Structure 1
Amino acid sequence: MIELLILLFLPETSIMLKTKQAAALSNPAPEQPQLSQKTFSQTCKSLFQLFILRPFHTVLYIRFLPVGLTVYYGSTCFACLYSISTAVPFSFEGMSTLISAEIQTNLRLFGYSDQFNSMEIALAYIPSCLGYIIGSISGGYLSDHVYRRARARDGDNFVPESRLDSAWFGVPFMPIGLLIFGWTLHTHQKWMVPLVGGFIFGLGFMLGTGTCMAYFADVIPGQSASVVACFNLCRNVAAALSAALAAPAINKIGQGWYFTIMATLVSLMSLNLLAVRRWGNHWRQQREDAAVAR
């Protein structure tokens, strides 16, 4: 009975199919290794574009003025931050080879100990860190307060640029902190005085740049991650350059004049925030109209 069912209902293998299978076994396709090699090459190319080239495309967002001007300001702030971070070790260590013999002598005469060890130098970063912490916490509350007030005041006419108003709680503190830090080091004041300047700078830094980060989330709806990536790339480049140039520049012109230059630069860049606050909405409307026209 079982044999009868198998004979009647089991599908018979096609003779043509059997012929093709036999031909394939006797003559394996030579194109298969080439296909595999081509697939591997395409995969490598795709990965290179995804992880190497594509991140750099985010830099193109700086061509959009509200993003570009704000990124320039934020990157300058990070350059100042890394200038302070770079200056602390060899300014307080006293025996660094990056400081001339005359400055080392003055450091000893005016109260700096050239016996600062690595732990004491690490502790010198605490005032700046306290400024960052306080500025970050208070900046969040101030930014939310300004945002809610602008929402209530403007209603449907609210624009993201209103967020930038809260940045001005911190903008003036940065050049003030830089000048105090630089000139008290330059004139060899007691070690705690420049650290006060570092605290003031840290407070202003977080109040100013935190607002910029919030603004990036709204400036181009749906593309906030790309805008933030653009900012991260630019600010890290600025930080790397300042860290590389700070030590030779300070050794050449001194802490006072170097940080005066940085304070002037960050003050000038803060004018970008005024421009974005004034014309940012107009620039965004132009961009949206151009996108619709395309």
Structure 2
Amino acid sequence: MSDTASNEKPKQLYQTWFDRFCLVTRREDPTTHSTWQKHAIVAITTLSAFTAPFASCILFPSFTTLVDYFHTTETKVALTTTVFLLGLAIAPLWWSTLSQHCGDCLRSRQLATSYHRLPAHRSHGLLVSQSVGAGVISDIYISTERGSALGWFYLGTLIGPLVAPIIGGALQVWLGWRANLYFMAIFTFISAMLTLLVLPETLVKSSTEQPKPWHQVLKRNALAPLPKLEFLMVPSIALTIVYVSICFASLYCFNTTLPYAYAAAPYNFSAIEIGLCYISNCLGYAIGSVVGGKLSDAKLRQYQITHDGAIRPIERIKTVWYGVGFIPAGLIIYGWLIEKKVFWIAPLVGAFLFGLGLMLVTATVMPFLVDIKPGVGASVVADLNLVRNILAAIGTVVSPIATASIGFGWWMSILALICSLAVGCIVIVVWREGAEQDSADGIAV
């Protein structure tokens, strides 16, 4: 994709039956969409990205209720989220490939109406946006504008787990835990309809290229994830994914421990009060999303100005240092203040710092992963989803066991240590990419 928008009058392509329902006309050059159209596209992709983690966390305030209702254990209740996350991890590997062959506007929603079917059904219908959304945004924005847009997009993936418990707690208190499932059925249907009306195709192929029948595409791509996993063999991509995935897994470890921490003495919070505790993370995410994306774009523009318009993706990741310290600090503060049963608002200060750091890191790293492999950003993000959701799934199972065995303080300290050590992955990426680029520049001179 070119990094300069064309000054020519944008060409509009012929309409398919699907395009007739969309209010935004697709264009030959997606970067020529008007500002309001781009904002609408970002908004709907953010909503779609928000939906999947939202669905995974809406039952968190009900966990203690579910343990009593089904006469089961905390670990088994956490497995409902684990199965969902495994679905999010694996399925996007196929969806991202199909989006590159069939277009980015593949839509799918599955409505769940019972607790026992929820883990499998909700992940199937919500996995598309995680990998395809980043590809859509990379199609409509040039490199120096992409970071801010991706910051908003990934705000959706991270704020979902924080807003969901607030709504889930309220529904649990007023209507019972099953109301959460009915709410998700309605919400995903509305999201699907908005996607149909607002999101145009952005991956436009040559008009002379004849589309292949869907059954041929499915047959050819049955083993599509296998070659796609080769991206994990690229050191810069693999190391970056490892760091982000560890931080993301820590988020789910935090999310699954909070309901049990605040439901116990001396807090004894109700489901709705537990949900409101997640607001502290929301504030951190919102600030980190806006600031992180702008810092990433500003760093890339600064390099572009001083190097005759050249684009160097590694410049983006250098702004990650603004957020790496907040993540372990927030985990330690939260864990030990909960352990010592300090006044309820004090541990949430740590939660805010954790959320701020996580979003500063995410808003910096995601544009880097999209830019480092132009044209296949959806596939790289699918690999990221694979690793981070597998680690998050493991974290949701391990967290209740760990907190029961060693306590909140030591468990959060272990997570903080792992996140701190994982920063070494980013150090290696910056050093390695910088050395390779400097070597290439020397040869060119």
- The normalised TM-score by structure 1 is 0.71
Aligned partner of 2:374 in structure 1 is 221
For residues 204 and 233 of structure 1, the distance between their equivalents in structure 2, rounded to whole angstroms, comes to: 22
- For the pair shown, the structure with the greater C-alpha radius of gyration is 1
Question: In the TM superposition, what is the alpha-carbon distance from 1:284 to its structure 2 partner?
Answer: 8.1
Alpha-carbon deviation of 1:171?
A: 0.8
1:185 maps to what in 2?
A: 338
| Matched residue count | 226
Distance 1:125 1:271 in 2: 29
Match of 1:100 in 2: none
Structure 2 CA distance for partners of 1:57 and 1:91, relative to 1, 3 Å:
farther
Distance 1:178 1:138 in 2: 21
Pairing 1:56-75 to 2, within 5 Å after superposition: 57-75=227-245
Q: Report the Cα distance in structure 2 between the residues aligned to 1:238 and 1:225, rounded to whole angstroms.
A: 20
- Is the partner of 2:267 in helix, strand or coil? coil
What is the aligned partner in structure 1 of residue 221 from structure 2? 50
Matches within 5 A, 1:89-238: 89-94=259-264, 108=265, 112-114=266-268, 116-155=269-308, 158-238=311-391
> Per-residue CA shift, 1:149-192, capped at 9, x if unaligned?
22223446652111111111111110100110111111111111
1:271 counterpart letter in structure 2 = G
2: CA distance, partners of 1:187 / 1:69: 36
SS at match of 1:189: coil
**Do the aligned residues in 1 keep the contact of 2:280 with 2:351 (CA within 8 Å)?**
yes
- Structure ranking higher in helix proportion: 1
> Residues of 2 paired with 1:48 and 1:248: CA distance?
43
Cα distance change on mapping 1:206 and 1:73 into 2, 3 Å: same
Structure 1 residues 142 and 156: alpha-carbon distance in aligned structure 2, compared to 1, 3 A threshold: closer
Offset at residue 48 of structure 1 (A): 6.5
* Local SS of the residue matching 1:204: helix
Higher RCO (C-alpha under 8 Å, 6+ residues apart) = 1
AA aligned opposite 1:50: N
- Report runs of 4+ in structure 1 exceeding 4 Å deviation: 43-46, 281-286
- Counterpart contact for 2:284–2:354, Cα < 8 Å: yes
Letter in 2 for 1:138: V
In structure 1, C-alpha distance between the alignment counterparts of 2:308 and 2:399, rounded to whole Å: 47
CA contact (8 A) 2:257 2:400 kept: yes
CA distance in 2, matches of 1:285, 1:154: 13
How many Å apart are 1:209 and its aligned residue? 1.4
Cα distance change of structure 1 residues 49 and 84 upon mapping to structure 2, 3 Å threshold = farther
Q: Say if 2:303 and 2:310, in contact at 8 Å, map to a contact too.
A: no
Task: Give the TM-score normalised by the residue count of structure 2.
Answer: 0.48
Partner of 2:50: none
| Counterparts in 2 of 1:154 and 1:269: CA distance versus 1, 3 Å | farther
Where in structure 2 are there 5+ consecutive unaligned residues?
1-213, 440-445
Name the residue aligned to 1:240: 393
Native 8 Å contact 1:159 1:281 kept in 2: no
C-alpha displacement of 1:218? 1.4
- 8 Å CA contact 2:334, 2:350 repeated in 1: yes
Q: Which residue of 2 aligns with 1:277?
A: 430
2:142 maps to which residue? none
